[in-house]
Chain A
Amino acid sequence: MTEILKVQGLRKAFGGVVVANGIDFSLSKGAMHCLIGPNGAGKSSFFRLLLGEHAPDAGTITFDGSDITGLRSFQRIRRGISVKFQVPGIFKALSVRQNLEVAFQDHLHGHSLSATIREMLDFTDLRAEEMTPAGILSHGQQQWLEIAMAVGVEPKLLLLDEPTAGMSPDETRKTGEMLHELNGRGITILAVEHDMAFVEQIAKRVTVLHFGSIFAEGTITEIIDHPGVQEIYLGTADV
């Protein structure tokens, strides 16, 4: 299988805090992969490094065959990376429709733009909220809206930072189904998640991050049975 993402020797420190301590990581095309780890392990920082929000102290990031380490954030997005942040990053004063327009209008125009918006409104069950300011949606709906914004551009790689945070079990399960559908369309997905039930629902392979380093990597059962992982994370996690 070909790799869509390859990270080599990625290092980043803020003063004394090492958020990435020589990370080697790769992701094959079409994968649905989860990143777990205790609070402060460096999961969100790893995403920010991938997105170019932090410049690494050392290491390289290769995406879809080319080195993107020196590119600015918006250029990386244009290459086909898309992201949903841990804190919902939507335009609260704008309507749901406008949020989607801003997300898609650069790639789509005219009829294909309105068709995709309609499709995404159905996909996320936000049809009735089309003209509602995004800021007054429920937390779960805001998460979905942001997922829709992230997937509507048809990225090659979708980064999701805690996509189910604050969702009810029902919403969480539905989100999992959405992700399976997106993955079925060929989008590679890398998700940070705390909810192990959700991780089991979506991921075949899991990477555990601890103190900015990769602590373990394997199938979901391997990770759950891993004694070290239980000690640092699963035993103490509030799942």
Chain B
Amino acid sequence: MTLNTTDTVPRSRARRLFSRLEGPQTMGSGPAFWTVAALVLGVAAAYPLIADAWTVGNAAYFLIWTFMAMGLGVVWGYAGALSFGQTAFFGLAGYAYGVITINLGTAYGLTIVALLLSVAIGGLFALVIGYFMFYGRIQGVFIGIVTLSVTLVLETFMAQTAGPQWRIGEARLNGFNGMSGMPPLTLPWFGGDIVLYPGPPLYYLLLGLVVICYLGLRILLNSPFGNVLVAIRENPHRVGMLGYDVRLYQMLAFGIGGAFAALSGALYTAWGQYITPSSMGLTSAALPIVWVAVGGRRDITATLIGTLVVLAGFQTLTIYGSQYALVVMGALLLVTVLAAPQGLIVGAMTLLGRLFQRSKT
């Protein structure tokens, strides 16, 4: 009897956790959805077998940005606070990764520690900014203005750190030109460290991280916490009148979004071994909003797919000139806002779901 209860309690808890992979806050459920998802993952896993190392490294680059996009999806799409400054946490974590790894080196898996520390620093900074914003009763469009200001201030500050006095230990911040020469992620291994230069091993690490973060966010968003977030988006006043500390929830959501942006920033720096102030500039700050809006901000799957599609499209266009590509991005945002405000992927998925329903009946 005793054995039975101690055995079933954790098991049912795990079951409840996994049951939250599906729920009202995320599109896609049932065997059909998960089969397609597994197939997509299978194709993604097989991709390095058919593509050359450079292309795979490039695909890894796309994956890096999805974390910042998913984080913005939580903050904007789910909690309803449009942040225009996720790049602040991205850039801060990028610089943090550089400073830590340049000072500590790559032995004993210290680059992984540096990655985790950078995410923590970015996330904490977001919590602090979130605290002052939400407890300072800043709302609506002013959240966009404050967050944009934060990222632009950081950009301006980092751009003036060219002098030799701007160093942290061994690491020179290097002003406008940015910081470079930090080591890539390095996994300690028995036969010698594995250095994750852009290529298949890094690609697999990132793919694994994307899967973990995506599934983790699905569980979080379908949990009671996610319920409160979307309720705050709909009617924050009522949520407070149900006994929730609305500002605390908003601050936590903002912290999560910041930590995800920081993960992107640290991975980006490890991937390319450089980080510049312009990564926190106006153009960089605007792009995540385009990715998330175009795919669909209110659904984490749409955000993920949309970001990858838009990034790939953007890179293809850049071949014809980067200014041209930016104009197309702006036009894409405009079309989305006018034609499918809930996002193109969400629109397409809703349509597909409806067709599927019809074919079943």
A residues near B (Cβ < 8 Å) are 51, 72-74, 77-78, 83, 85, 89-95, 98, 101-103, 105-106, 110, 149, 153
Q: How far is the CA of A73 from the CA of B228 in the complex (A)?
A: 16
Q: Is the CB of A90 within 8 A of B243?
A: no
Given contacts A74-B245, A101-B227, 5 further A-B contacts (CB under 8 A): A73-B240, A77-B241, A77-B243, A101-B224, A106-B242
Is B140 in the interface zone, CB < 8 Å from A? no
Q: How far is the CA of A85 from the CA of B235 in the complex (A)?
A: 13
SS of A interface (majority): mixed
Is B246 in the interface zone, CB < 8 Å from A? yes
Q: How far is the CA of A75 from the CA of B266 in the complex (A)?
A: 39
Closest chain B CB from A18 CB (angstroms): 24
If A74-B245, A83-B241 touch, does A94 touch B231 (CB 8 Å cutoff)?
Answer: yes
Q: How far is the CA of A9 from the CA of B104 in the complex (A)?
A: 65
B residues in contact with A98, CB < 8 Å: 24, 227, 230-231
Kindly report which residue of chain A lies nearest to residue B238, judged by CB atoms.
A89
B residues in contact with A73, CB < 8 Å: 240-241
Closest chain A CB from B11 CB (angstroms): 14
Contacting residue for B231 out of A72, A83, A91, CB 8 A: A91
Kindly report which residue of chain A lies nearest to residue B234, judged by CB atoms.
A91
Q: How far is the CA of A93 from the CA of B237 in the complex (A)?
A: 15
Is B239 in the interface zone, CB < 8 Å from A? yes
Q: Is the CB of A95 within 8 A of B234?
A: no
Contacting residue for B241 out of A51, A95, A105, A110, CB 8 A: A51
Q: How far is the CA of A102 from the CA of B237 in the complex (A)?
A: 13
Q: Is the CB of B237 within 8 A of A89?
A: yes
Q: Is the CB of A94 within 8 A of B234?
A: yes
- CB-based closest 5 A-B pairs: A77-B243, A89-B238, A91-B234, A105-B224, A102-B231
Q: Is the CB of B24 within 8 A of A149?
A: no
SS of B interface (majority): helix
A residues in contact with B16, CB < 8 Å: 110
Contacting residue for B24 out of A77, A83, A94, CB 8 A: A94
Q: Is the CB of B235 within 8 A of A153?
A: no
Q: How far is the CA of A105 from the CA of B228 in the complex (A)?
A: 9
B residues in contact with A91, CB < 8 Å: 230-231, 234-235, 238
Q: How far is the CA of A105 from the CA of B230 in the complex (A)?
A: 14
Q: How far is the CA of A105 from the CA of B234 in the complex (A)?
A: 17
B residues in contact with A77, CB < 8 Å: 240-243
Q: How far is the CA of A105 from the CA of B239 in the complex (A)?
A: 12
Q: Is the CB of B243 within 8 A of A89?
A: no
Name which of A51, A95, A98 has the most chain B CB atoms within 10 A of its CB: A98
Q: Is the CB of A102 within 8 A of B227?
A: yes
A residues in contact with B237, CB < 8 Å: 89
Is B142 in the interface zone, CB < 8 Å from A? no
Q: How far is the CA of A90 from the CA of B235 in the complex (A)?
A: 7
Kindly report which residue of chain A lies nearest to residue B230, judged by CB atoms.
A94
Is B244 in the interface zone, CB < 8 Å from A? yes
Q: Is the CB of B246 within 8 A of A74?
A: yes
Closest chain B CB from A158 CB (angstroms): 12
Q: Is the CB of B234 within 8 A of A106?
A: no
A residues in contact with B241, CB < 8 Å: 51, 73-74, 77, 83, 85, 89
A residues in contact with B242, CB < 8 Å: 77, 102-103, 106, 149, 153
Q: How far is the CA of A116 from the CA of B309 in the complex (A)?
A: 44
B residues in contact with A90, CB < 8 Å: 235, 238
Kindly report which residue of chain A lies nearest to residue B242, judged by CB atoms.
A103
Interface string of B238-280 (1 = CB under 8 A from A): 1111111110000000000000000000000000000000000
Q: How far is the CA of A83 from the CA of B237 in the complex (A)?
A: 12
A residues in contact with B228, CB < 8 Å: 102
Q: How far is the CA of A213 from the CA of B235 in the complex (A)?
A: 32
Q: Is the CB of B227 within 8 A of A74?
A: no
Closest chain A CB from B254 CB (angstroms): 18
Q: Is the CB of B244 within 8 A of A74?
A: yes
Closest chain A CB from B47 CB (angstroms): 37
Q: How far is the CA of A162 from the CA of B84 in the complex (A)?
A: 41
B residues in contact with A102, CB < 8 Å: 227-228, 231, 239, 242
Q: How far is the CA of A195 from the CA of B237 in the complex (A)?
A: 27
Q: How far is the CA of A12 from the CA of B39 in the complex (A)?
A: 64
B residues in contact with A153, CB < 8 Å: 242-243
Q: How far is the CA of A106 from the CA of B237 in the complex (A)?
A: 17
Q: Is the CB of B243 within 8 A of A74?
A: yes
Kindly report which residue of chain B lies nearest to residue A109, judged by CB atoms.
B224
Closest chain A CB from B227 CB (angstroms): 5
Closest chain B CB from A15 CB (angstroms): 21
If A106-B244, A153-B243 touch, does A95 touch B238 (CB 8 Å cutoff)?
Answer: no
Kindly report which residue of chain A lies nearest to residue B12, judged by CB atoms.
A110
Interface string of B169-184 (1 = CB under 8 A from A): 0000000000000000
Kindly report which residue of chain B lies nearest to residue A149, judged by CB atoms.
B242
Pick 11 A–B contacts, CB within 8 A, sort by A: A74-B240, A77-B240, A89-B237, A91-B235, A94-B230, A98-B230, A98-B231, A102-B227, A102-B231, A106-B242, A106-B244
